[in-house]
Amino acid sequence: MKKALITGISGQDGRYLAELLCSKKYIVIGLTRSKKQTIEKLPKKLRDTIELVEYESFTQESFIKILKKYCPNEIYNFAALTSGDGMYLNPEDISKINAGLVYKILEAIRHVDKNIRFCQASSREIFGESLESPQSETTLKIPRSPYGEAKLDADNMISKYRNQYNLFLASAILFNHESPRRGHNFVSRKISTAAAEIKLGLRKELKLGDLDTIRDWGYAGDYVKAMWLMLQADNPDDYVIASGKTHTIRDICEIAFSHLDLDYKLYVKEDLNIGRPNESVALVGDIRKVKRILNWSPSMTFEKLIKNMVDHDLKENKKNNEKK
């Protein structure tokens, strides 16, 4: 049986990946700062299936000990300080976690077992002020936030270690990926939650920034499958993981509210002072490489994704309201 170690297992991606790996009969070890909080977030079927390892802080020595003890075949790194609204906050901590932790993992792999395969969850934020659209693996990276800078720093180090030490290291350049497990600080979840609450009479309106902001949105469950495929390949490489299509925030509003027989125009208030400035060109992923080499493509449509999120939030709000 293969053994995989997942950092950031309590997040959206970590949970979807853990489910995928368990379905493939992996032994899954999840690293977490709090077992109690993580167990509360995990689906019931995972709680008795995976092993959680609690840590206070990642030092080089502690990570080496973890690798020696659990001997994983694969490592997936989702540990990161937030993107979304928080990618400009606490730049020192963002660099320490989003880049510094990756250095420690790479060094631990180099010292403990060079056969360990590693996948880093990178981000479309490395493109930032890109000069071309769509963006591929060879597009010039011009991050415009501390979050994007830290992710690019980690990607660059992965490339250097891969070449210098002949390690199986890969970066997944993930574009926006959503699900019912998405954090409430992300616009997709803000909209799905608000639509459900308005339908139930729990709130009256939703304030958003520029509704014509363009993003490349996909389903998180599809994207973690791509990351798994990356570590099953013959050779390590970096891949853009995206839907290859763009939609606007207005599109999400239209789908989410109409799914509940509501007109979003009656409830969504646009405030152009909210949110960050739009990119100079549309950030949309060129997924020809991952399609060609890994035979991966997204399985869930944008419309189905948004409807699933709304259905989930409607069900959750009904359940919580009944408890009161």
What residues are annotated to the active site? 123, 125, 147
Rounded CA gap, 129 and 279, in Å?
6
Alpha-carbon distances of 70 from 59, 239, 305, rounded to whole Å? 17, 28, 36
Nearest to 172 by CA among 128, 130, 224: 224
Is the separation of the CB atoms in 38 and 30 below 8 Å?
yes
Nearest to 318 by CA among 273, 260, 277, 263: 260
- How buried is 80 (Cβ within 10 angstroms: 0-12 exposed, 13-18 middle, 19+ buried)? buried
Nearest to 121 by CA among 153, 88, 76: 76
**Residue 141: count of CB within 10 angstroms of its CB:** 19
3-state secondary structure of 81: coil
3-state secondary structure of 136: coil
Alpha-carbon distances of 294 from 235, 241, 291, rounded to whole Å? 11, 11, 6
Rounded CA gap, 137 and 172, in Å?
10
